[in-house]
Amino acid sequence: MASITLKDLVKAYGDTEVLHHIDGQIEDGEFVVIVGPSGCGKSTLLRMVAGLETVTGGEIHIGDRVVNELEPADRDIAMVFQNYALYPHMSVRENMAYGLKIRKISKDEINRRVEEAADILEIRPYLERKPRQLSGGQRQRVAMGRAIVRDPQVFLFDEPLSNLDAKLRVQMRLEIRKLQQKLGVTSIYVTHDQVEAMTLGDRLMVLNGGYVEQFGTPIELYDRPETMFVAGFIGSPAMNFLPAEVANGVTTLSNGAQLGVAQGQGNVVLGVRPEHLEPQEDGAIEVQVQLMEQLGANTLLHGALKGTDTEMVVSLPGHVTAAPGTEMKFGAAPENMHFFAPDTQKRIE
């Protein structure tokens, strides 16, 4: 068990800097998810912790050691890869035992640990099979088994569920979470899927373009997004952004409607989540419905802010019917209205 500290971490390929001065503290036993769109540098960051990419600047600490110059083998980590990366010519048992065999652990001990891990993951019947004889989900379990038999200080997951079908992904997601809670091993998990990130992580690090946008618990990110990027990335469907102007504590929307809640001064962006918009008789936010999606548990209304072409989505609980062209009035609680500065994209308090 160990904590991980990233200090002023920089990664550059030649002159191109892809990760910019990343700081972060991951506590012992914590499950941290690094999430961001593809190309944001999340996998690179994970691979730097693993020792598969060199560190251009800054420091990585695992426990009380600086591991910058250590080989992956000496960092006491285990990694689960997106494509499982099982050794194709070895049986499941040999796959799981390989790391232990290299560490010259006795045969009995290896067998004990492999079988124990196989029981936890329910892959005992497949121990003598080759990876190609297994399904995607089973391979994923073997890859995790290979990680847990080693009893490492840190687990690293590089988009481990993205090759699985949707149903299996949900199931494996829960299992990974349970497993991590049971073993209490510090874990870093990389994904581009915000639902996976929200459900798995104790804390999320949102990366965008090589910068940390925000690092906090899922609820913090949902309730108080620090930047427009985080606000738009976390939550589904994504937050509505309405250009507005603030003067003397009054917010004026682009269609002239006025709200009594305001932050900042001058041009702002008002963010409201689709699920936080409530139908109100005297609601200031008027939406012209263009399209309706009924999902059973809730209904999504797609439309535009009345009199403008600012697109909006409203999520209402239960069944609602609204013909295209209908105009509806909505309001939202003050704590559910987020104000951002259009130039810096940062939250205004």
Partner 1 sequence: MLKRVHFPSSALPFLLVAPQIIITLVFFIWPAAQAIYQSFLIEDAFGLSTEFVWFENFQILFQDKQYLATFWRTLFFSAAVAILSMSIALILAAFADRVVRGATAYRTLMIWPYAVAPVLAGALWVFMFNPTLGIFPFLLDMVGLDWNHYLKGSHAMMLVIFAAAWKQIAYNFLFYLAAMQSIPRSVIEAAAIDGAGPVRRFKDLIFPLISPTTFFLLVINAVYAFFDTFGIIHAVTQGGPANSTTILVYKVFNDGFVGLDLGGSAAQSVILMFLVITMTVVQFRYVERKVEY
> Considering beta carbons, is residue 146 or 169 the nearer one to partner 1?
146
Q: What is the helix (H) or strand (E) element at residue 338, kind and residue range? A: strand 337-340
> Smallest distance from the beta carbon of 111 to partner 1, in angstroms?
17
Q: Which stretch binds partner 1 (CB under 8 A): 83-91, 167-175, 182-190, 318-326?
A: 83-91
> Smallest distance from the beta carbon of 311 to partner 1, in angstroms?
40
Q: Count Cα neighbours of 149 within 13 Å in the Cβ-side half-sphere.
A: 31
> CA 213, CA 4: separation in Å to the nearest integer?
19
> Smallest distance from the beta carbon of 95 to partner 1, in angstroms?
9
By CB under 8 A, name the one of 12, 18, 52, 70 that touches partner 1.
Answer: 52
> Considering beta carbons, is residue 69 or 349 the nearer one to partner 1?
69
By CB under 8 A, name the one of 45, 67, 86, 277 that touches partner 1.
Answer: 86
Beta pairing partners, 289: 303
> Smallest distance from the beta carbon of 71 to partner 1, in angstroms?
7
Taking CB under 8 A as the rule, does residue 71 contact partner 1? yes
Q: Sketch the per residue contact string, 149 through 168, with partner 1: x for CB under 8 A, - otherwise.
A: -x------------------
The interface with partner 1 within residues 228-267 (CB under 8 A) comprises none
> CA 75, CA 48: separation in Å to the nearest integer?
11
By CB under 8 A, name the one of 29, 37, 57, 72 that touches partner 1.
Answer: 72
Taking CB under 8 A as the rule, does residue 14 contact partner 1? no
- From the centroid of its chain, how far is CA 201? 7
Burial of residue 89 (CB within 10 Å: 0-12, 13-18, 19+) is: exposed
By CB under 8 A, name the one of 42, 139, 146, 173 that touches partner 1.
Answer: 146
Q: Which residues contact 155 (CB under 8 A, 6 or more apart)?
A: 77, 78, 79, 80, 147, 180, 185, 186, 187, 188
The interface with partner 1 within residues 93-132 (CB under 8 A) comprises 98-99, 102-103, 132
Q: What is the helix (H) or strand (E) element at residue 315, kind and residue range? A: strand 311-317
Taking CB under 8 A as the rule, does residue 291 contact partner 1? no
Taking CB under 8 A as the rule, does residue 13 contact partner 1? no
DSSP 340: E
> Considering beta carbons, is residue 163 or 290 the nearer one to partner 1?
163
Pairing outcome for strands 250-253 and 258-259? antiparallel
Taking CB under 8 A as the rule, does residue 309 contact partner 1? no
Q: What is the helix (H) or strand (E) element at residue 166, kind and residue range? A: helix 166-183
Inter-residue contact 11 to 53 (CB < 8 Å): yes
CA distances from 31 to 148, 183, 256, 324 (A): 15, 11, 46, 45
Taking CB under 8 A as the rule, does residue 211 contact partner 1? no
By CB under 8 A, name the one of 32, 78, 259, 332 that touches partner 1.
Answer: 78
> Considering beta carbons, is residue 159 or 213 the nearer one to partner 1?
159
> Considering beta carbons, is residue 19 or 77 the nearer one to partner 1?
77
> CA 49, CA 60: separation in Å to the nearest integer?
7
Pairing outcome for strands 285-294 and 250-253? unpaired
Q: Cα Rg for the chain, rounded, in angstroms?
A: 24
> Smallest distance from the beta carbon of 105 to partner 1, in angstroms?
11
By CB under 8 A, name the one of 1, 66, 73, 174 that touches partner 1.
Answer: 73
Q: Which stretch binds partner 1 (CB under 8 A): 35-43, 78-86, 187-195, 306-314?
A: 78-86
> Smallest distance from the beta carbon of 85 to partner 1, in angstroms?
4
Q: Which residues contact 9 (CB under 8 A, 6 or more apart)?
A: 19, 21, 22, 23, 45, 48, 55, 57, 58, 59, 60
Q: What is the contact surface with partner 1 in residues (CB under 8 A)?
A: 50-52, 71-73, 77-79, 81-83, 85-89, 98-99, 102-103, 132, 146, 150
